[in-house]
């Protein structure tokens, strides 16, 4: 008989958005809940992210007067995701679309305030069922002072690295403040908000940190136990049922019973070179370029696999192509592919993708192209007009810091062929590509890839009315520049296969009793596409909510002799 050190109704492994939503959902039913976090800080990948949540037909969106429907959202899944197997089955899509609305309404009822991300378009809005205005919401700015000592345990978010209290849907305007009056007004609003928070000594959080902070506060207020610095070791099984977990806590191994179920919400395996090498398939990756949560090392997934859990989409990730420029590049050149006077090319000097499409689409295109012409890494090419025009958060407009230029990561030449020589790109190929691109680009056209035609392309492009196409202009002003671009990622998105109730399935497609999973620990309902801003967080939060509902309802039914 198992000897238990602690007993709870629900044990959640991981403290990201999915884990905390599940904990809060279960706690609202009166269940005793434990959240186990291996790291010292709370929030996982969600806290590090923009905190945007993509939920079709959601109440915030409807309140903003933007029409949507379940039918349009389901049609959008069918048009974009297509048939990718059981991870995105009709039943799982149906649950995501219906429970997602319920989940957001539940969080609103508890007091979490969301803002509609107007204009942050669906990534495939031109496909059937897409919405040009977007389906995403994000948390409103939130004062973390109310967390007290728990505030120091929050994972740092995006805004903290920028030193500004900027919301995610405002961020695209910051580096375009000199390109339109609207962008300037947004940047001014952010500056005033930041100054106001400092003047009143408020720890004002935005993005994923604001979402995690609010979820944590609500969970703590409802008696949820949260253990940090407590790595998960293994699942405890009795007669084929998952009945608890083994965890390292306070310097010793303890066994914790979970009467209603265990939820794996521990992220993926982005930082596991061994797992990514084994499962990389046609998109090989040795965890060299990931920007995901450092805790994404896959132990919980492996524990479930040892029990016979089925997996899917293990070669896939949330790709985020990133210039090899370190911290400075994050504020300067990461956005370059969406702006005019830039292009991505392979080693042959040829374009291979609409550079302004979603980051996942571009990352997958890099791997696909690499099978025939080296595109991992590929190259970002831009001209001096780009350098002069666009504001850089960590520098003054129009110039690059000396350390950036001296590092060798930025290549500069007086001509396109000379630039190609510096980069090891075929000079004739690059010269021909630029010449072919420049003719139509002078009219704001991209006949080869249609860059700048979709609402998403336009949303992240140049907001100035002076450009014919917010994403396309010629590359024709010397000197010319190039930076290597790597297929980075913000996490893996394949893993344990779950049914529509977030129950982990075995090799015979039967639920493993007592075991649930969500988020990047699972094969996502989004399949091999990223449907809109916040699609990964939405997948995690919605199925965390679903898992908690299922676990607590099943437990109640089992206790009810008439259930």
Dihedral sign for Cα 430, 431, 432, 436, please: positive
pLDDT of residue 398: 53
What's the CA gap between 195 and 211, in Å, rounded? Answer: 21
- Closest by CA to 66, choosing from 134, 124, 123, is 134
pLDDT of residue 391: 59
- DSSP-derived secondary structure letter, 552: H
Where are the domain boundaries for CATH 3.90.700.10 in the chain?
A: 324-487
Other Cβ atoms within 10 Å of 109 Cβ, number:
9
Where are the domain boundaries for CATH 3.50.50.60 in the chain?
A: 1-320+491-563
* pLDDT per residue as tens digits for the range 176-235: 999 999 999 999 999 999 999 999 999 999 999 999 999 999 999 999 999 999 999 999
What's the CA gap between 138 and 121, in Å, rounded? Answer: 14
* pLDDT per residue as tens digits for the range 444-484: 999 999 999 999 999 999 999 999 999 999 999 999 999 99
Angle at 309 between CA 308 and CA 312, to 5 degrees: 130
CA-derived radius of gyration, the chain:
24
pLDDT of residue 332: 63
Q: DSSP letters along 225-273, please?
A: EEE-S--EEEEEEETTEEEEEEEEETTEEEEEEEEEEEEE-----TT-H
Residue 327 burial (10 A CB sphere; 0-12, 13-18, 19+): exposed
What is the DSSP pairing of strand 503-505 with strand 511-517?
A: antiparallel
- Closest by CA to 44, choosing from 263, 262, 295, 249, is 295
Global confidence as pTM: 0.95
Which option is the CATH number for 324-487: 3.40.50.10260, 3.40.190.10, 3.90.700.10, 3.20.20.30?
A: 3.90.700.10
Rounded to 5 degrees, what are φ and ψ at 400? -105, 140
pLDDT of residue 163: 85
* pLDDT per residue as tens digits for the range 374-408: 999 999 999 999 988 885 544 454 566 677 777 78
Q: Compute CA distances 107 → 70, 159, 208, 322, whole Å.
A: 20, 23, 15, 34
What angle do helix axes 90-109 and 70-80 make, rounded to 10 degrees?
130
Count of all residues that appear for the chain in the document: 563
The answer to whether the CB of 333 falls within 8 A of the CB of 380 is: yes
The whole-number average pLDDT for the span 354-383 is 97
- Closest by CA to 484, choosing from 426, 410, 406, is 410
Q: What CATH number was assigned to the domain covering residues 1-320+491-563?
A: 3.50.50.60
* pLDDT per residue as tens digits for the range 17-31: 999 999 999 999 999
* Range scoring the smallest mean pLDDT among 60-74, 226-240, 398-412, 510-524: 398-412
The whole-number average pLDDT for the span 69-77 is 98
498 Ramachandran zone, left/alpha/beta (phi>0; psi -120 to 50): beta
Q: DSSP letters along 73-107, please?
A: HHHHHHHHT----GGG-HHHHHHHHHHHHHHHHHH
């Amino acid at each position: 008989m198992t000897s238990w050190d602690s007993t709870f109704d629900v044990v959640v492994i991981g403290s990201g958005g999915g884990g905390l939503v599940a904990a809060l959902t279960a706690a609202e039913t009166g269940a005793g809940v434990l959240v186990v976090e291996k790291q010292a800080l709370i929030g996982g990948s969600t806290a590090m992210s923009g905190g945007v949540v993509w939920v079709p037909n959601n109440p915030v969106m409807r309140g903003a007067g933007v029409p949507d429907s379940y039918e349009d959202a389901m049609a959008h899944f069918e048009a974009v995701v297509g048939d990718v197997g059981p991870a995105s089955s009709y039943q799982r899509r149906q649950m995501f679309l219906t429970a997602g609305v319920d989940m957001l309404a539940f969080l609103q009822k508890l007091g979490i305030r969301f803002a509609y991300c107007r204009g942050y378009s669906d990534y495939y809005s031109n496909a059937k069922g897409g919405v040009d205005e977007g389906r995403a919401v994000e948390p409103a700015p939130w004062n973390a002072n109310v967390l007290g000592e728990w505030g120091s345990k929050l994972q740092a978010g995006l805004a903290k690295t920028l030193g500004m209290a900027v919301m995610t849907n405002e961020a695209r305007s910051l580096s375009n403040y000199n390109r339109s009056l609207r962008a300037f007004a947004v940047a001014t609003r952010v500056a005033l908000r930041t100054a106001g928070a400092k003047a009143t000594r408020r720890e004002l959080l935005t993005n994923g940190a604001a979402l995690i902070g609010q979820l944590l506060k609500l969970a703590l207020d409802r008696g949820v136990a949260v253990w940090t610095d407590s790595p998960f070791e293994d699942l405890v099984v009795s007669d084929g049922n998952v009945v608890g977990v083994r965890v390292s806590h306070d310097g010793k191994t303890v066994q914790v019973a979970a009467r209603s179920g265990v939820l794996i919400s521990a992220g993926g395996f982005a930082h596991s070179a061994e797992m990514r090498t084994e499962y990389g398939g046609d998109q090989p990756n040795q965890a060299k370029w990931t920007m995901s949560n450092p805790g994404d090392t896959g132990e919980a997934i492996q524990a479930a696999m040892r029990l016979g859990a089925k997996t899917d989409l293990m070669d896939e990730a949330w790709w985020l192509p990133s210039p090899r420029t370190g911290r400075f590049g994050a504020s300067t050149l990461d956005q370059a592919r969406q702006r005019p006077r830039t292009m991505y090319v392979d080693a042959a000097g040829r374009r291979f993708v609409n550079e302004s499409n979603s980051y996942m689409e571009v990352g997958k295109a890099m791997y696909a192209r690499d099978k025939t012409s080296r595109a991992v890494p590929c190259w970002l090419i831009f001209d001096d007009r780009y350098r002069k025009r666009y504001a850089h958060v960590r520098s003054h407009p129009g110039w690059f810091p000396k350390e950036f230029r001296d590092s060798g990561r930025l290549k500069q030449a007086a001509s396109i062929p000379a630039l190609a020589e510096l980069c090891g790109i075929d000079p004739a190929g690059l010269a021909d590509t630029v010449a072919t691109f420049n003719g139509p680009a002078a009219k704001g056209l991209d006949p080869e890839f249609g860059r700048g035609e979709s609402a998403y392309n336009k949303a992240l492009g140049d907001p100035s009315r002076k450009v014919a196409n917010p994403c396309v202009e010629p590359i024709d002003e010397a000197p010319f520049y190039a930076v290597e671009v790597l297929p980075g990622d913000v996490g893996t998105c394949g893993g344990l296969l779950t049914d529509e109730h977030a129950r982990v399935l075995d090799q015979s497609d039967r639920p493993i009793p007592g075991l649930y999973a969500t988020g990047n620990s699972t094969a996502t309902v989004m399949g091999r596409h990223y449907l809109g801003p916040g699609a990964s967080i939405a997948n995690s939060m919605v199925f965390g909510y679903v898992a908690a509902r299922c676990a607590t309802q099943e437990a109640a039914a089992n206790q009810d002799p008439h259930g």
